Amino acid sequence: MSAIDYNEKIPNNVNLSEDRALQRALEHWQPNYLQWWQEMGPDGSQNFDVYLRTAINTTPEGWAQFGHVKMPDYRWGIFLNAPEADRRVNFGEHKGEAAWQEVPGEHRANLRRIIVTQGDTEPASVEQQRHLGLTCPSQYDLRNLFQINVEEGRHLWAMVYLLHKYFGRDGREEAEALLYRNSGSQDNPRILQAFNEETPDWLAFYMFTYFTDRDGKFQLCALAESGFDPLSRTCRFMLTEEAHHMFVGESGVSRTIQRTCEVMKQHNIEDPEQLRQLGVIDLPILQRYLNFHFSVTIDLFGADQSSNAATFYATGLKGRFEETKRDDDHQLKGDHYKILEVQGDKLVEREVPMLNALNEVLRDDYIKDSIAGIGRWNKVIEKAGLSFRLQAPHKAFNRHIGSFAGLRVSPQGQVISEAEWQTNVRQWLPTEEDRVYVASLMGRVVEPGKMANWIAPPPIGINRQPINFDYVRFN
């Protein structure tokens, strides 16, 4: 491995060749990464040539170079957005100071924790998705799955770069540990629960990339505001890639809905049982999957009141979504925010100090963004002349973190008894039969341009290629 020219092998804009210590650290880590990719990356895909987008720099032309590549040979690069001249810390107690180019000693432990937590989600999603290639609905979709997988790999590189470059020995140990935890593992699970859930089928994959990659977007946006400038610049570049992941989710669900509506119209039926006979995914199943992924994902924002969130903000480490576009003092000391709480059998609003409620602030911004896309899905149903509408469940529904944990709340936001929950939960969350039915549709379709019966073709191909382009060559 030592013969590899890493400056060649790892495209980067961080002057890797001039930093011997960093180069050595990455030389040590890279074979372990590749071994992880072989063992935990996309199942059975090592020899495929995949039409992938590779970033070779951060310019509009350079960040999206397309060509067929074997995934183990993908050039996972390290890119930071260009520095902003005279950038400042834009919020918290250090507001107005020059942005930090090195880790401030007193914030080191918190920063490391933030970076490790973000970094841990990246390989986790690759692990969660590793068997999906075996049941892809089309070559186009298979390619999109692999694109997301290699980019999540690159996001891991992005976080590992920060750990190696700025956190010395602790950072190197954390970088190793990122490869040893595994999604769903009993002994050594991933840090956040949503990243230990399975992504068993393609509907789950689209919901995951719509909802959970969008959590990624909001976390990255909050970290892009960080006073620690290398973290900010790293996250800004990651966000350019994240957009495609959410696109795959949104368009995947949209195409599924479109196909279902076509069959509903064509046969003039709405009954889920009859639709299942025709091999499409009925809208109530889509709603139950949506409820599951929405509720599991909003848990990722953490407890509604959190002293850690307050500390991360006050110390300038993690801002709010679009921090610098907001019109306030960016200190938030005397400010308040309304959170929901249970009182008896009612959810009531309560004002709490804004600094403690920053997880909730980010969660609420996320919810607004998520709901916009659900509206676009409903347009597809509306266009077909059908009355069904998908809805985001209430934010207290099916929660496991924060003040709603353990509470039974309906998707409409009524606090209910355990008995009522048990009576209705089969209408609200995917049942075993739903999962089995969706799994039964997941045959592998790889003939160029062909789609599985349950999903409509995309309106356009990748990088203006036709839909029947050979996105994956199986060799």
- Give the binding site for Fe ion (CB under 5 A): 122, 152, 155, 213, 216, 242, 245
Which residues pair with residue 349 across a beta bridge?
A: 340
Q: Which is nearer to Fe ion, 242 or 323 (CB)?
A: 242
Express the helix, strand and coil content of the chain in percent, nearest 5 each.
55, 10, 40
Provide the 8-state DSSP code for 189.
Answer: -
Q: Which is nearer to Fe ion, 69 or 150 (CB)?
A: 150
Name the nearest CA neighbour of 116 among 166, 81, 71, 42: 166
Tokens representing 444?
A: 């592998």
Q: How far is the CB of 244 from Fe ion (least distance, A)?
A: 8
Q: Which is nearer to Fe ion, 99 or 145 (CB)?
A: 145
Q: Which is nearer to Fe ion, 122 or 127 (CB)?
A: 122
Q: Which is nearer to Fe ion, 197 or 213 (CB)?
A: 213
Q: Which is nearer to Fe ion, 155 or 399 (CB)?
A: 155
Q: How far is the CB of 245 from Fe ion (least distance, A)?
A: 4
Pairing assessment for the beta strands 65-70 and 472-473 based on DSSP bridges: unpaired
Q: How far is the CB of 279 from Fe ion (least distance, A)?
A: 30
Q: How far is the CB of 366 from Fe ion (least distance, A)?
A: 14
Which residues pair with residue 12 across a beta bridge?
A: 78
Q: What b-and-e string marks burial along 354-386, b requiring 16 or more CB atoms within 10 Å of the CB?
A: bbbbbbbbbbbbbbeebeebbeebbebbeeeeb
Name the nearest CA neighbour of 131 among 464, 448, 444: 444
Q: What span, in angstroms and rounded, lies between the C-alpha atoms of 444 and 45?
A: 14
Q: How far is the CB of 149 from Fe ion (least distance, A)?
A: 10
Q: How far is the CB of 155 from Fe ion (least distance, A)?
A: 4
Q: Which is nearer to Fe ion, 120 or 213 (CB)?
A: 213
Q: How far is the CB of 294 from Fe ion (least distance, A)?
A: 17
Phi-psi region of 248 (alpha: psi -120 to 50; beta: other; left: phi over 0): alpha
Pairing assessment for the beta strands 346-353 and 65-70 based on DSSP bridges: unpaired
- Note whether 391 and 291 are within 8 A (CB): no
Q: What span, in angstroms and rounded, lies between the C-alpha atoms of 137 and 328?
A: 48
- Note whether 156 and 123 are within 8 A (CB): yes
Q: How far is the CB of 12 from Fe ion (least distance, A)?
A: 18
Residue with tokens 């393609």: 202
CB atoms within 10 A of CB 416: 16
Q: Which is nearer to Fe ion, 234 or 256 (CB)?
A: 234
Tokens representing 222?
A: 């909050």
Q: Which is nearer to Fe ion, 220 or 339 (CB)?
A: 220
Q: What is the DSSP string of 419-440?
A: HHHHHHHHHHS--HHHHHHHHH
Q: How far is the CB of 253 from Fe ion (least distance, A)?
A: 16
Q: How far is the CB of 39 from Fe ion (least distance, A)?
A: 20
User: What's the CA dihedral at 460, 462, 468, 474 to 10 degrees?
Assistant: -160
Q: Which is nearer to Fe ion, 242 or 282 (CB)?
A: 242
Phi-psi region of 457 (alpha: psi -120 to 50; beta: other; left: phi over 0): beta
